[in-house]
Amino acid sequence: MVGVVNATPDSFSDRGDRSTAGSIRQVEQHMADGADIIEVGGESNVTNRPAVSVEVELERVIPVVEAAVERGATVSIDTYKPAVADGALAAGAAIVNDISGSESGAMLEVCAARDAWMVVMHTEVAPKTQRWDEDLYPDGITVRQVEFFAARLERLERAGIPADRVVLDPGPDFGKTPRQTVESLRGIPRLLDFGCPVMLAVSRKDFIGAITGRRPSERSAGTLAALAAGLDLGATVLRVHDVAATVDFLKVREALRGESDVPAGLRIGEDIRRETPAGERAGEPLG
């Protein structure tokens, strides 16, 4: 599971402390909650904010990457800028999540030279831009994604990045209407034919907000529903903001599917069985 840390003041989905210290605390919380990978990003993809410079992005992410590595985390850097990726990899990151669709030859050179894993995301638009066009995929979005990933994997292989170091991301919301995003996620089984893990980067995304009418901070239930569907379709890498809730979701899902044991003697603890009534102090009944 990938826990997202947005080390940027204008994140669309996080309203917490986005300072360096706050981001490092979030790293620690994600790790305590059970994240396997920490993904650090230093530039929001919101379209109503200008891009930040390489220098600013590095200033935001490097201390957080270093802190996460120091605490034993596997770290992914979320960036489309080769210089930022290079700096983060030099600081100990092992994965580059490139939302530009991995088109840049310079990015591929950096990742190959550093033996990095890459998350290759499908997109037909440049970073920090949006395009809602119902006619963009005349043959269907899954057909287009299969063509896209086949071409990208061939290019990565030529650059020295083999398919066994690649994760595919259908790219929810990126150059996609809500309907197209849903269609792309339904096409996950076709993407599995490439033999690469498929990432579910659906946490708090716009398509969930469009379907539910909820703001980013209110999209937890919709996120879990999207994760459930994506897992059933074969995706295996979960990229989430709320690690603790996702861990709980997975525990219950695995128990119900018979993938984990529920011991015969398991009982709920009295300390968590009920909420304390409002106004009642610990150990004292209401008067």
198-232 pLDDT, tens digit per residue, is 999 999 999 999 999 999 999 999 999 999 999 99
The residue segments making up the domain with residue 27 are: 2-273
Residue 19 lies in a domain: yes
State residue 129's pLDDT score.
Answer: 84
Residue 69 near residue 35, CB atoms below 8 Å: no
144-165 pLDDT, tens digit per residue, is 999 999 999 999 999 999 999 9
Residue 282 lies in a domain: no
Residue 234 near residue 196, CB atoms below 8 Å: no
Of 70-74, 119-123, 127-131, 258-262, which gets the smallest average pLDDT? 127-131
Token reading at 240: 């989430």
Helix, strand or coil, per DSSP, at residue 203: coil
Q: Is pLDDT at 278 greater than 60 in this prediction?
A: yes
Specify the residue for token string 């292989």: 157
DSSP state of 198: B
Confidence grade of residue 127 (pLDDT, cut at 50, 70, 90): confident
Catalytic residue among 81, 152, 205, 219: 205
Residue 130 lies in a domain: yes
Residue 285 lies in a domain: no
The runs of H, that is alpha helices, within the chain are 20-33, 54-70, 82-90, 105-113, 141-159, 178-186, 188-191, 206-212, 220-233, 243-256, 270-273
Q: What is the mean pLDDT of the chain?
A: 93
State residue 14's pLDDT score.
Answer: 57
Catalytic residue among 204, 239, 274, 281: 239
60-97 pLDDT, tens digit per residue, is 999 999 999 999 999 999 999 999 999 999 999 999 99
Q: What is the CATH number of the domain that holds 117?
A: 3.20.20.20
DSSP state of 37: E
Token reading at 113: 């030279």
- If we measure between CA atoms, which residue out of 232, 222, 224, 223 comes closest to residue 257? 232
Confidence grade of residue 140 (pLDDT, cut at 50, 70, 90): very high
Token reading at 124: 């037909």
What CA–CA distances, in Å, run from 27 to 40, 44, 65, 90? 9, 18, 9, 19
What CA–CA distances, in Å, run from 207 to 23, 80, 129, 231, 251? 26, 23, 16, 18, 26
Of 1-10, 156-165, 218-227, 246-255, which gets the smallest average pLDDT? 1-10
| Mean pLDDT value across residues 262-270 | 96
| Mean pLDDT value across residues 108-118 | 98
What CA–CA distances, in Å, run from 138 to 50, 55, 175? 31, 40, 14
81 belongs to the catalytic site? no
What CA–CA distances, in Å, run from 22 to 16, 28, 59, 74, 85? 8, 10, 15, 19, 22
Q: What is the percent of the chain with per-residue pLDDT over 70, rounded to a whole number?
A: 94
Q: Is pLDDT at 280 greater than 80 in this prediction?
A: no
| Residue length of the chain | 287
Residue 57 lies in a domain: yes
Residue 286 lies in a domain: no
Of 79-88, 120-129, 178-187, which gets the smallest average pLDDT? 120-129
State residue 68's pLDDT score.
Answer: 98
Residue 72 lies in a domain: yes
239 belongs to the catalytic site? yes
Q: State how many domains the chain has.
A: 1
C-alpha distance across the termini of the chain, in Å:
47
CA distance 176 to 187: 14
Of 13-22, 110-119, 155-164, 260-269, which gets the smallest average pLDDT? 13-22
- If we measure between CA atoms, which residue out of 239, 240, 250 comes closest to residue 198? 239
Q: What is the percent of the chain with per-residue pLDDT over 90, rounded to a whole number?
A: 84
Residue 287 lies in a domain: no
